[in-house]
Amino acid sequence: MPPEKAMESQTMFILTLSLLFLSGVQAVNFIVRNNCPYTVWPGILTSSGPVLDNTGFELPSGNFITLNVAPSWSGRLWGRTSCSIDATTAKFNCATGDCASGQVSCNGAGGIPPATLIELTLNGYKDQDFYDISLVDGFNVPASISPAGHGDCKATSCGGDINGVCPPELAVMGANGRTVACKSACLALNEPRYCCIGSYNTPETCPPTEYSKIFKAQCPKAYSYAYDDKTSTFTCPSGADYVIAFCP
pLDDT tens digits along 13-27: 444 444 444 344 478
pLDDT of residue 175: 86
Q: Is the pLDDT of residue 12 over 90?
A: no
Given a contact cutoff of 8 angstroms between Cβ atoms, the answer to whether 26 and 35 are in contact is no
Alpha-carbon distance 211 to 185, whole Å? 6
Instruction: State how many domains the chain has.
Output: 1
Q: What are phi and psi of 216, to 5 degrees?
A: -65, -35
Alpha-carbon distance 91 to 112, whole Å? 16
What are the beta bridge partners of residue 33? 64, 245
Alpha-carbon distance 188 to 113, whole Å? 10
Sign of CA dihedral 86, 92, 98, 100: negative
- pLDDT digit string (tens) for 154-210? 999 999 999 999 999 999 999 889 999 999 999 999 999 999 999 999 999 999 999
- DSSP string across 128-156: EEEEEEE-TT-BSS-EEEEEES-TTPPPE
pLDDT of residue 18: 41
CB neighbour list of residue 212: distance below 8 Å, 6 or more residues apart: 184, 185, 224, 225, 228
Classify 36 as helix, strand or coil: coil
Q: What are phi and psi of 10, to 5 degrees?
A: -65, -40
- Rounded mean pLDDT of the chain? 90
Owning domain of residue 236 = 3-246
- pLDDT digit string (tens) for 20-53? 443 444 789 999 999 999 999 999 999 999 999 9
CATH, residue 89: 2.60.110.10
What pTM value is reported for the model?
0.87
- pLDDT digit string (tens) for 63-93? 999 999 999 999 999 999 999 999 999 999 9
pLDDT of residue 130: 96
Encoded amino acid at 26, one letter: Q
- pLDDT digit string (tens) for 172-187? 999 889 999 999 999 9
Encoded amino acid at 55, one letter: T
